[in-house]
Structure 1
């Protein structure tokens, strides 16, 4: 599930949820909305996955 991956990412990099949402989807409420049951569309899901993969590569993980 995407939210579980995001939560692990936030813990791993100690990143605030608002920064994550803003950086990957220009939506500071993204993580909070997902926690409340929002289902992201395919484009947003791809953007989230791409952001996490790129961030990990650039930070040596």
Structure 2
């Protein structure tokens, strides 16, 4: 599930949910909405996964 991957990412980088939402989805409420049951479209899921992969690559390079 996307929210589990995001929660793991937030812990890994000690990033606030609102910052993640702004950077990854241009929506500071994105993570809160997911926590409350929002189901993102497949394109959004792909974009968020790509953001997390790129962020990890940039931080571990």
TM, length-normalised to structure 1: 0.96
What stretches of structure 1 move > 3 A for 4+ residues in a row? Answer: none
> RMSD across aligned C-alpha pairs, in angstroms?
1.0
Distance 2:23 2:4 in 1: 18
Structure 2 unaligned segments of length 5 or more: list them.
Answer: none
The 5 A counterparts of 1:1-61 are 1-60=1-60
Structure 2 CA distance for aligned equivalents of residues 41 and 27 of structure 1? 15
State TM-score, norm by structure 2: 0.96
How much does 1:45 deviate? Answer: 0.5
CA offset at residue 26 of structure 1?
A: 0.3
Per-residue deviation, 1:43 = 1.4
Matched residues in 2 for 1:43 and 1:27: separation? 15
